[in-house]
């Protein structure tokens, strides 16, 4: 009887079934470790054909240092979800261009025609794919001045009823300017300090399928960074979506939305520029979620080993570090993470966390295979503490990014996760 | 002529007394003054060199000894002191010819140790091992010999022989070399990310009687890497108590305190560390601490310095 009560209190852990998907990310890594080789693996989960099932788009790498998609293994891929765990490659004829080293993707119906469109980010480009229907996409480019566009979010930032696009830019990098670095005697990826910072970009949706670069006038171009992830949410409670940008070993940015597409950067004042100890971590993926269900949006992001996955509790006036009080700091101290999502897997009403883990260094580098890690699952215990979940069995890989969505239509959110030079995984969450 | 000799003898007596009393620098100066008066007496140069070496003024010792060796190039003692001075000055490889010329002294433990150290520092691991081995044969209770032998064998890639040497060192009981060995082990483990083992190795060093700020700081760091700032705090505090000038400990203590939401206590430590400019991120930690206590203007200034 007691155990039944406990189960009811804690929620029932679901069954996790791990399936390999047909997509294999190609990083292009060779002996020389060109920076993009460790950064890829972005994806988007969206219903491109309007059949009610979530489909998959994978941004893929390229040959290095040429950045050319010189082989089909580097092609970006679109998979139609046909149900029953079947994903069919429908890239051919879709109009998705096979150009450059793609890093990330974001889906959203920016032209308001009811069909999900796609922005694909990469080294030196922002590609915009307008969903024409029938599995076809119209291609255009957004200006980015050769920057390394890394991730993006569609959101109605000016509350005018259409989706604007915020693009996170990473370091200033060119193949010619790539540094050769060595870690414990072997070629490996360089620390981001060797490369300059970039400003992020904001594109206002003018309607009629037109996007205008308003980075400067909106204020987002004022602060530079080495951006990786973006979390959108109303952190200050003024009813407008704000933008939190994680930066790689630089101060994070919090753009508070002042209305009319004007933003003020307030990461320091809100306590999220860097952890209290002042050490800017390799902040990677982030997610805004209300972990303690107090009605205010909290924040968590991943980072590398010794940096923990910092968790912040929103007091309404600032975001205060909550990693120690919830135990998440202790759990994640020895972990490295990239993508992170908040999903209430056990349906107890408290959002849990899942993280795509692995180091930024290469498995062929000086530190070797310790760079590989398994996926990380963290149970949210009533908003008070996090516990490490052991229910999700995954082998150690170079996991990179993930997205949560109900792929099998059973009402429970699943997770799709990518890994460098390995098949993407569908973590099927079987409802209980 | 006799009175000149008498003066010389009297001055030499004063210098010799200073040497005997351990006032090496004073002795050295007296010998140098004598050498200027009596440049033909090469032994005064030798004594001056020896006095400087004893006073740990190695550059001056080397200069005097080189002057002496111009007239007495085959002097084994002169070459030994010159070589030892060079070794102390970090000139291990150039010191080797001097030790070679002093080889007639190879039965002396001092020679063996200096020669072995020089070979090791010059990267001649096999030669170093050979000399350390001779040293351990002559002085089996000298922990320095076993420590050096273990390091040299390890550098050669002969792990089994290294282990055997280190085991002999351990059997000798507490010694500075055993502490160094455990410290080396701890650092290697720390570098490999094996923080629990590194912490245990450092605790063994502490158990060998070392009470040092750097050791406490390293222990704190291992604890922090393993379990966060809270268990690290007592070690950082101990480090700062033992040596307030140890900036790494001041920084670590300040960072830990501000993370543990104790900004008022953190501020003085962070101010000391930040102002020493050892790491720009300390300004950010300080800015966070100022912000937490409402010192917003100070926070803005510190933030500017962090950027």
Comparing A277-281, B6-10, B150-154, the range with the smallest average pLDDT is B6-10
Sheet-wide strand order for A352-357: A337-343, A352-357, A376-381, A385-388
Q: Which residues in chain A are contacts of B282 at CB distance < 8 A?
A: 278
Residue A412 is classified by DSSP as S
Tokens of A381: 């215990």
**pLDDT score for B55:** 94
> What's the mean pLDDT in B113-118?
95
Residue A73 is classified by DSSP as G
What's the pLDDT band for A3 if we cut at 50, 70, 90?
Answer: very low
Q: Which residues in chain A are contacts of B230 at CB distance < 8 A?
A: 324
Distance between B184 CA and the closest CA of chain A, angstroms: 18
**pLDDT score for A39:** 98
Q: Which residues in chain A are contacts of B193 at CB distance < 8 A?
A: 305, 370
Q: Does A35 score more than 80 pLDDT?
A: yes
> What's the mean pLDDT in A61-75?
97
- Long-range contacts for B217-221 (Cβ within 8 Å, ≥24 apart)? B217/B246, B217/B248, B217/B249, B217/B252, B218/B186, B218/B190, B220/B249, B220/B252, B220/B256, B221/B190, B221/B252
Rounded CA-CA distance A367/B150 in Å is 26
Q: How do residues A183-209 score in pLDDT, each as one tens digit? A: 989 999 999 999 999 999 999 999 999
Beta-carbon separation of A278 and B226 below 8 A: no
Rounded CA-CA distance B173/A180 in Å is 47
Rounded CA-CA distance A28/B160 in Å is 42
Q: Which residues in chain B are contacts of A311 at CB distance < 8 A?
A: none
Beta-carbon separation of A251 and B284 below 8 A: yes
Q: Does A308 score more than 60 pLDDT?
A: yes
**pLDDT score for A10:** 53
Interface mutation target, options B193, B229, B288, B307, chain A, most CBs of A under 10 Å: B288
Per DSSP, chain A holds a count of helices (H) and strands (E) of 5, 32
Q: Using beta carbons and an 8 Å cutoff, which residues of A are at the interface with B?
A: 251, 268-269, 271, 273-280, 305-306, 321, 324, 329-330, 333, 370
Q: How do residues A119-165 score in pLDDT, each as one tens digit? A: 999 999 999 999 999 999 999 999 999 999 999 999 999 999 999 99
**pLDDT score for A4:** 44
Q: Using beta carbons and an 8 Å cutoff, which residues of B are at the interface with A?
A: 193, 225-230, 255-256, 258-261, 281-289, 291-292, 299, 303, 306-307
> What's the mean pLDDT in A325-335?
96
Q: How do residues B142-190 score in pLDDT, each as one tens digit? A: 999 999 999 999 999 998 999 999 999 999 988 989 988 988 889 889 8
What's the pLDDT band for A7 if we cut at 50, 70, 90?
Answer: very low
> What's the mean pLDDT in A312-329?
97
Among the partner residues B228, B287, B303, nearest to A324 by beta-carbon distance: B228
Tokens of B274: 């930040």
- Long-range contacts for A194-197 (Cβ within 8 Å, ≥24 apart)? A195/A35, A195/A171, A195/A226, A196/A171, A196/A172, A197/A171, A197/A172, A197/A224, A197/A225, A197/A226, A197/A247, A197/A250
Quote the pTM value.
0.83
- This complex has an ipTM of 0.90
| Residue of chain B with shortest Cα separation from A224 | B307
**pLDDT score for B127:** 96
What's the pLDDT band for A229 if we cut at 50, 70, 90?
Answer: very high
Beta-carbon separation of B256 and A277 below 8 A: yes
**pLDDT score for A5:** 45
Q: What are the two backbone dihedrals, phi and then psi, of residue A107, each rounded to the nearest 5 degrees?
A: -110, 145
Interface mutation target, options B284, B292, B295, B305, chain A, most CBs of A under 10 Å: B284
Query: Which residue stretches of A296-377 are H helix?
Result: 323-326, 328-332
Distance between A25 CA and the closest CA of chain B, angstroms: 29
Q: How do residues B188-247 score in pLDDT, each as one tens digit? A: 898 888 999 999 999 988 888 888 999 999 999 999 999 999 999 999 999 999 999 999
> What's the mean pLDDT in A306-328?
97
> What's the mean pLDDT in A72-76?
98
Distance between B253 CA and the closest CA of chain A, angstroms: 10
Rounded CA-CA distance A199/A142 in Å is 15
Residue A84, classified by CB atoms within 10 Å of its CB into exposed (0-12), middle (13-18) or buried (19+), is exposed
| Residue of chain A with shortest Cα separation from B262 | A276
Q: Which residues in chain A are contacts of B303 at CB distance < 8 A?
A: 268
Q: Spell out the residues 6+ positions from residue A405 whose beta carbon is closer than 8 angstroms to its own.
A: A45, A54, A413, A414, A416
Rounded CA-CA distance A148/A11 in Å is 43
**pLDDT score for A142:** 98
């Amino acid at each position: 009887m007691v155990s039944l009560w406990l189960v009811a209190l804690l929620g029932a852990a679901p069954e996790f079934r791990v399936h390999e998907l047909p997509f294999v990310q190609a990083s292009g890594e060779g002996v020389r470790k060109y920076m993009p080789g460790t950064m890829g693996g972005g994806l988007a989960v969206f219903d491109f054909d309007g059949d009610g099932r979530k489909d998959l788009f994978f941004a893929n790498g390229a040959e290095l240092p040429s950045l050319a998609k010189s082989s089909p293994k580097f092609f970006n891929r679109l998979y139609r979800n046909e149900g029953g765990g079947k994903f069919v490659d429908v890239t051919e004829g879709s109009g998705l261009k096979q150009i450059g080293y793609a890093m990330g993707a974001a889906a959203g119906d920016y032209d308001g025609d009811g069909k999900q469109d796609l922005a694909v980010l990469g080294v030196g480009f922002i590609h915009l794919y307008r969903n024409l229907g029938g599995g076809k996409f119209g291609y255009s480019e957004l200006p980015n001045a050769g920057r390394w566009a890394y991730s993006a979010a569609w959101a109605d930032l000016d509350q005018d009823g259409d989706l604007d696009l915020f693009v996170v830019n990473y370091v200033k990098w060119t193949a010619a300017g790539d540094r050769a670095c060595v870690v414990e005697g072997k070629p490996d990826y360089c620390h981001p300090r060797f490369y300059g910072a970039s400003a992020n970009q904001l594109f206002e949706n003018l309607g009629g399928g037109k996007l205008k670069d308003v980075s400067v006038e909106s204020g987002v171009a004022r602060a530079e960074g080495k951006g990786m992830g973006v979390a959108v949410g109303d952190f200050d409670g003024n009813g407008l979506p704000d933008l939190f940008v994680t930066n790689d070993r630089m101060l994070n940015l919090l753009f508070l939305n002042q209305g009319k597409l004007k933003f003020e950067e307030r990461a320091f004042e809100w306590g999220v520029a860097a952890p209290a100890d002042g050490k800017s971590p390799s902040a990677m993926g982030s997610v805004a979620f209300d972990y303690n269900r107090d009605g205010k949006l909290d924040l968590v992001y991943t980072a590398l080993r010794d940096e923990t996955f910092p968790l912040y509790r929103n007091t309404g006036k600032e975001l205060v570090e909550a990693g120690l009080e919830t135990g998440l700091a202790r759990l994640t101290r020895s972990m490295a993470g990239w993508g992170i999502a908040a999903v209430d897997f056990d349906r107890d009403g408290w959002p849990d966390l899942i993280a795509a883990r692995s180091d930024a260094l290469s498995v062929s580098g000086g530190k070797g295979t310790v760079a590989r890690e398994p996926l990380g699952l963290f149970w949210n215990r009533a908003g008070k503490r996090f516990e490490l979940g052991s229910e999700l069995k995954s082998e150690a890989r170079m996991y990179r990014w993930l997205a949560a969505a109900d792929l099998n239509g059973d009402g429970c959110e699943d997770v799709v996760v990518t890994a460098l030079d390995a098949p993407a995984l569908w973590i099927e969450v079987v409802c209980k | 002529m006799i009175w000149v000799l008498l003066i010389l003898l009297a001055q030499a007596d004063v210098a010799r007394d200073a040497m005997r009393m351990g006032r090496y620098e004073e002795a050295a100066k007296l010998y140098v003054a004598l050498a200027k008066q009596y440049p033909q007496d090469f032994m005064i140069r030798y004594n001056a060199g020896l006095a400087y070496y004893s006073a740990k003024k190695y550059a001056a010792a080397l200069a005097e000894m080189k002057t002496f060796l111009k007239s007495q190039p085959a002097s084994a003692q002169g070459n030994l002191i010159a070589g030892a001075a060079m070794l102390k000055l970090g000139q291990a490889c150039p010191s080797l010819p001097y030790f070679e010329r002093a080889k007639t002294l190879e039965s002396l433990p001092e020679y063996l140790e200096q020669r072995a150290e020089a070979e090791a520092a010059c990267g001649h691991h096999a030669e170093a091992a050979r000399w350390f081995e001779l040293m351990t044969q002559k002085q089996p209770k000298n922990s320095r010999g076993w420590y050096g032998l273990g390091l040299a064998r390890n550098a050669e890639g002969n792990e089994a022989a290294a282990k055997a040497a280190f085991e002999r060192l351990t059997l000798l009981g507490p010694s500075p070399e055993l502490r160094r060995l455990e410290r080396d082990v701890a650092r290697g483990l720390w570098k490999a990310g094996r923080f629990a083992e590194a912490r245990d190795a450092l605790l063994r060093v502490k158990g060998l009687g070392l009470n040092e700020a750097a050791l406490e700081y390293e222990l704190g760091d291992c604890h922090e890497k393993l379990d966060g700032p809270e268990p690290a705090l007592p070690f950082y505090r101990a480090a700062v108590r033992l040596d307030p000038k140890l900036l790494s400990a001041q920084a670590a203590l300040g960072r830990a305190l501000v993370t543990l939401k104790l900004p008022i206590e953190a501020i003085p430590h962070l101010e000391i560390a930040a102002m020493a400019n050892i790491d720009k991120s300390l300004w950010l930690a300080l800015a966070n601490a100022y912000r937490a206590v409402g010192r917003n203007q100070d926070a803005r200034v510190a933030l500017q310095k962090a950027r």
